[in-house]
Amino acid sequence: MAEVIDALTAEVLPDQSYPFAAEEAIPIEQRTDVTVDELERMSLPCTAELYDGRIVLKEANMAHGMIQAHLAATLSWYLDENPIGYALISPNFRLWPDRPKESRAPDIALVKKERIKPEDWHRFPAIAPDLAVEIISPDDKFEAMMEKVDEYIESGVPIVWLVFSTKREILVCTASSTYHRVRDVLAAPDLLPGFELPVSRIFEGIPPHENS
């Protein structure tokens, strides 16, 4: 039995050379030299992004998770009927191929089928999604999130949705530098023809935030 376990372990984990925090002289959360390749091989407790070699974890509360599930499911239902692409939860992207210590992981992303290469399914793809969605927590700073929107758009993302859980509205940002708030029906006619989602449904079952 031990030989079988050893064989399975070797098959599933063929390369044990990548660094975990316990193996580093500097704790992983304090390092500033982590690369996207290295991050891709790590076993971290939640989604993480790289900012100039520093790992930033994206931890979600229940409201965040519910919003993410509602929106991802609705996009997936649309794509079942209109199979133009895939809705993905917290995928990591190499938005800047020439910046090996930077990556971003939107809470939800949509990528058209024709843009996905076979190897992209098992790596952090070096592409910009066709839609990036970020769910804004009460503690998130608006200025920092708008800087992230600019990063997405400059890297080639045509549409970004910022979901504000406290205000229960969506800020739609596009590459044409137009920004508008949506509180009634969310749509994206250029990317998702016929898609319409009442904003209230995104927040169904979530009690209002006490500071909203």
Closest CA to 134 of 168, 78, 90, 102: 90
Position 212 confidence tier, pLDDT thresholds 50, 70, 90: low
Percent of the chain past pLDDT 70, that is, above it, reads 88
Question: In this predicted structure, what is the pLDDT of residue 65?
Answer: 95
**Is residue 92 within 8 Å of 39, Cβ to Cβ?**
yes
**Is residue 156 within 8 Å of 168, Cβ to Cβ?**
no
pLDDT beyond 80 at 48? yes
Question: In this predicted structure, what is the pLDDT of residue 176?
Answer: 85
Sign of CA dihedral 184, 144, 126, 41: negative
Q: Tokens 């910009």: give the residue.
A: 128
Q: What CA–CA distances, in Å, run from 100 to 104, 118, 151, 208?
A: 12, 21, 16, 40
Alpha-carbon distance of 170 to 71, in angstroms, equals 12
How far from chain centre, in Å, is Cα 22? 27
Tens of pLDDT, residue by residue over 112-146, are: 999 999 999 999 999 999 999 999 988 889 999 99
Position 22 confidence tier, pLDDT thresholds 50, 70, 90: very low
Question: In this predicted structure, what is the pLDDT of residue 103?
Answer: 98
Position 1 confidence tier, pLDDT thresholds 50, 70, 90: very low
Question: Tokens at residue 187, please?
Answer: 């749509």
Position 211 confidence tier, pLDDT thresholds 50, 70, 90: low
Burial class (CB in 10 A: 0-12, 13-18, 19+), 116: middle
Question: In this predicted structure, what is the pLDDT of residue 91?
Answer: 96
pLDDT beyond 60 at 21? no
Closest CA to 95 of 67, 53, 126: 126
Alpha-carbon distance of 136 to 123, in angstroms, equals 26
What average pLDDT does the segment 176-204 reach? 95
The region of weakest confidence among 19-23, 63-67, 145-149 is: 19-23
The mean predicted confidence, pLDDT, of the chain is 89
Amino acid identity, position 65 = G
Name all domains of the chain by residue range, CATH numbers in brackets.
2-58 (no CATH), 62-202 (3.90.1570.10)
Question: In this predicted structure, what is the pLDDT of residue 107?
Answer: 98
Question: In this predicted structure, what is the pLDDT of residue 4?
Answer: 37
Alpha-carbon distance of 145 to 141, in angstroms, equals 6
Tens of pLDDT, residue by residue over 52-103, are: 999 999 988 999 999 999 999 999 999 999 999 999 999 999 999 899 999 9
